[in-house]
Structure 1
Amino acid sequence: MSASFAQLGNDLYTGRRSVAVVAHRRRFYLGSLALFLVAVLGLATQGLNLGLEFRGGSEFRVATSSAPQDYEQTAREAVGAAEDQRGVNVTLVGTDTVRVQTERLSDTDSQSVRSALADAFEVPEEDVSATFIGPSWGASVSAQALRALVIFLVAVVLMLSIYFRNWKMAAAALFALAHDLAITVGIYALVGFEVSPATMIGFLTVLGYSLYDTVVVFDKVRENTNQAFANGRLTYAQAANLAVNQTMVRSINTTVIGLLPISAVLVVGSVFLGPGVLLDLSLVLFVGILVGAYSSIFIATPFLVTLRRKDAAVVELEKKALRHQAKVAKDAEHAAPVSGDAPVPAGALPSTPATREEGSTLTGRAVHEYARSGPRNQPKRTPRSKR
């Protein structure tokens, strides 16, 4: 399995195999548009389930030796919200603490609810804690989070424009970030996940992770397209698609490795800890990293190609590359077949033994093939006589 996966990575890197991400970009746009519409529908119909820190209210925690199976109904009846359950949120924290959140209550009503909960769960009144959280704290957190988001986006635009020397790369990266944020928030609204201050932190973290993956792909896009402009072998779209393929295995591996510990924290938080900062943060990271990995592969680079398709230099490169590929194909038709040449699999980028040398990518760069034995990811040494 590891050998075949390594071979797949080598084939994607050299262009022997190719996933037509850029060519099928309209399909991915439609898929993202469908997810975006679902997200907007969730926000419009259900809205965000804001936590107590944002809407304000009273919170009660009942410490029991073991919470009964019908703890939710018991708590609602004790609070007196059996008929109207919208104002009461009952959750289990760990295995022995029942958390009850209500609208803001007066001191007298709060004491009454505290006594009712103690009687309902058959615990001393001292084991029922009551706290009040005002909405101003959540409003302050929201304002600071929005301020941090604006500063982050401005810094992203400046950094990418300076590093890549192309504002359209910055625009494509921002489009991918907006895609990730909108879909992640929409999923939260649709499923009804509670939005807490930890969730806000998770949103900003997800944007940073998504940007990191996008920048890695764009760095390869810049490298390939610069060589394409220099030698005219590939069109801009083909060079960009090759960059996506060359970084695809890395992006998938990075995402899987990142999701493994988050999944462990998510399971432990759900089963043993219950609602809290750890669960809120791991939940938004899990959803956001999945969406971010998708956008870095299937949205960011295709959108960059869409933005640059009418640039004069890109149009001229396409004409030059198509003439070169037509000439190579014509020469290949007249060339006698060489015994032992391996056939090029279907779906590969336009390449024949005449378009690239063995041990090089479609852009002409030399590349080491990974060794099939010995330490993993250890490239074979190329003899000096063959360099």
Structure 2
Amino acid sequence: MHFNKEYDFVKLSKYTFIFSIALTIAGIIMLSIFGLNYGVDFQAGSNVDIKLSKNLTKAEVQPIVDQMGLSKEATIAPGDKRMNIRFTKVLTPETDDQLKTGIQKLDKTASFEVNTVDTEMAKELGRNAIYAVLISCIGIIIYVSIRFEWRFAVAAIIALLHDAFMVVAVFSIFRLEVSLTFIIAVLTIIGYSINDTIVVFDRIRENLRFGKQKTKVDLAALMNKSVNQMLMRSIYTALTVFIAAFFMFILGGESIKMFSLAMVVGLLFGAYSSIFIASPLWLIFKNKQKTNSKVAKPSKA
């Protein structure tokens, strides 16, 4: 499929910047109010996943939790022949046995998966997750600066941070659980987004090499030409990966649901940012270089 129409992405970027800034501000507000719904991976406590042969209601399980003396520390989430009980305190061997015995009185074939994280481990996992994202960003800055130039690197990092933050904001707004799989999804999104951005930047660099750009208008035309040349490639790549992630979310198990959802959201913003954030930002930085060159140029006597 080919389109002969060429889009003016420089003109469109004025509106996409406003859109992205508004989303970022909304995300910051939501994060400051709600924070993140940390899973047991990042929050001390115990998470009990129960596989059942029949459906149990919250009302049936609540008395068992009350007898354990943990009614205020427990969140009960029933599902289809499953139940998840999250405790903000670490279960002792006694309370663990008490819970299992109570549930098995209601369903003899019930099986349990208990994940426990202590306070120090939760803090360490949180720090390591932040370090992983920061180290990835630093590595990308170094790579893009060597491969291209610092203007490309700065534009790419801003676009990557935009993508990652949008996923975090969506999870905060809808109170979705943030676990280790979420961090893996964010790192995967960063990898996908930088790949898509590099492809567009590579075409810009090639067109710069063979073109003569003397004015800001010339640079804008070059950027529009480069993005239009890579537009369908970006759409096809994003669409194929999006379809796979979407069906993983719809048909996949509970263990990968949040990973798949983070991928779906991140892929959409990744494709968007490569075209509407990274490339226009590079143009802004390049135009400043042109302006500074003119100012620095001595006048003829």
Q: Same fold (TM over 0.5)?
A: yes
Whether the aligned pair in 2 keeps the contact of 1:22 and 1:237 (CA below 8 Å) is yes
Establish whether residue 181 from structure 1 lines up as the match of residue 164 from structure 2: yes
Query: Following the alignment from structure 1 to structure 2, what is the Cα–Cα distance between the partners of residues 187 and 286?
Result: 11
Whether the aligned pair in 1 keeps the contact of 2:216 and 2:290 (CA below 8 Å) is no
Establish whether residue 116 from structure 1 lines up as the match of residue 102 from structure 2: yes
Establish whether residue 245 from structure 1 lines up as the match of residue 231 from structure 2: no
Deviation of the 1:229 alpha carbon: 2.1
Whether the aligned pair in 2 keeps the contact of 1:252 and 1:293 (CA below 8 Å) is yes
Partner deviation per Cα, 1:147-204 (whole Å, 9 max, x = no partner): 332322222112111111x211111001101111111111111111111111111111
Whether the aligned pair in 1 keeps the contact of 2:54 and 2:107 (CA below 8 Å) is no
Deviation of the 1:86 alpha carbon: 7.2
Task: Say which SS state the counterpart of residue 101 (structure 1) adopts.
Answer: strand
Establish whether residue 150 from structure 1 lines up as the match of residue 138 from structure 2: no
Partner deviation per Cα, 1:198-223 (whole Å, 9 max, x = no partner): 11111111001000000000111112
Structure 1: which 5+ runs fail to align?
12-16, 317-387
1:302-381 correspondence runs (5 A) = 302-312=280-290
Establish whether residue 210 from structure 1 lines up as the match of residue 193 from structure 2: yes
Query: Using a 3 Å threshold, how does the CA distance of structure 1 residues 152 and 58 change in structure 2: closer, same or farther?
Result: closer
Query: Following the alignment from structure 2 to structure 1, what is the Cα–Cα distance between the partners of residues 173 and 128?
Result: 25
Partner deviation per Cα, 1:262-314 (whole Å, 9 max, x = no partner): 11111112xxx33x1x2222121111111111100111111111112122379
In the other structure, the counterpart of 1:97 is: 82
Establish whether residue 65 from structure 1 lines up as the match of residue 62 from structure 2: no
Q: Which residue, out of 143, 164, 167, partners 1:159? A: 143
In the other structure, the counterpart of 1:48 is: 36
Give the structure with the higher percent helix. Answer: 2
Whether the aligned pair in 1 keeps the contact of 2:42 and 2:122 (CA below 8 Å) is yes
Query: Using a 3 Å threshold, how does the CA distance of structure 1 residues 144 and 58 change in structure 2: closer, same or farther?
Result: closer
Establish whether residue 35 from structure 1 lines up as the match of residue 23 from structure 2: yes
Q: Once structures 1 and 2 are overlaid, which stretch shifts more, 304-313 or 204-213?
A: 304-313
Task: Say which SS state the counterpart of residue 259 (structure 1) adopts.
Answer: helix
Whether the aligned pair in 2 keeps the contact of 1:76 and 1:88 (CA below 8 Å) is no
Q: Once structures 1 and 2 are overlaid, which stretch shifts more, 41-50 or 307-316?
A: 307-316
Task: Say which SS state the counterpart of residue 180 (structure 1) adopts.
Answer: helix
Letter paired with 1:158: I
Structure having the higher Rg: 1
Query: Following the alignment from structure 1 to structure 2, what is the Cα–Cα distance between the partners of residues 303 and 129?
Result: 48
Letter paired with 1:280: M
Establish whether residue 172 from structure 1 lines up as the match of residue 158 from structure 2: no
Deviation of the 1:228 alpha carbon: 2.7
Query: Using a 3 Å threshold, how does the CA distance of structure 1 residues 235 and 73 change in structure 2: closer, same or farther?
Result: farther
Deviation of the 1:91 alpha carbon: 3.8
Query: Following the alignment from structure 1 to structure 2, what is the Cα–Cα distance between the partners of residues 143 and 154?
Result: 16
Whether the aligned pair in 1 keeps the contact of 2:152 and 2:282 (CA below 8 Å) is yes
**TM-score computed with the length of structure 1 as normaliser:** 0.68
Query: Following the alignment from structure 1 to structure 2, what is the Cα–Cα distance between the partners of residues 243 and 204?
Result: 27
In the other structure, the counterpart of 1:298 is: 276
Q: Which residue, out of 227, 234, 257, partners 2:240? A: 257
What is the alpha-carbon root mean square deviation over aligned residues? 2.7
Letter paired with 1:20: D
Task: Say which SS state the counterpart of residue 101 (structure 2) adopts.
Answer: helix
Aligned residues: 291
Letter paired with 2:140: V
Query: Following the alignment from structure 1 to structure 2, what is the Cα–Cα distance between the partners of residues 91 and 172?
Result: 43
Query: Following the alignment from structure 1 to structure 2, what is the Cα–Cα distance between the partners of residues 22 and 310?
Result: 15
Query: Following the alignment from structure 1 to structure 2, what is the Cα–Cα distance between the partners of residues 186 and 139?
Result: 21
Whether the aligned pair in 1 keeps the contact of 2:65 and 2:71 (CA below 8 Å) is no
Letter paired with 1:97: R
Q: Once structures 1 and 2 are overlaid, which stretch shifts more, 151-160 or 127-136?
A: 127-136
Question: After the TM superposition, which parts of structure 1 deviate over 6 Å for at least 4 consecutive aligned residues?
Answer: 230-234, 313-316
Structure 2: which 5+ runs fail to align?
295-301
Whether the aligned pair in 1 keeps the contact of 2:207 and 2:226 (CA below 8 Å) is yes
Task: Say which SS state the counterpart of residue 263 (structure 2) adopts.
Answer: helix
Q: Once structures 1 and 2 are overlaid, which stretch shifts more, 47-56 or 304-313?
A: 304-313
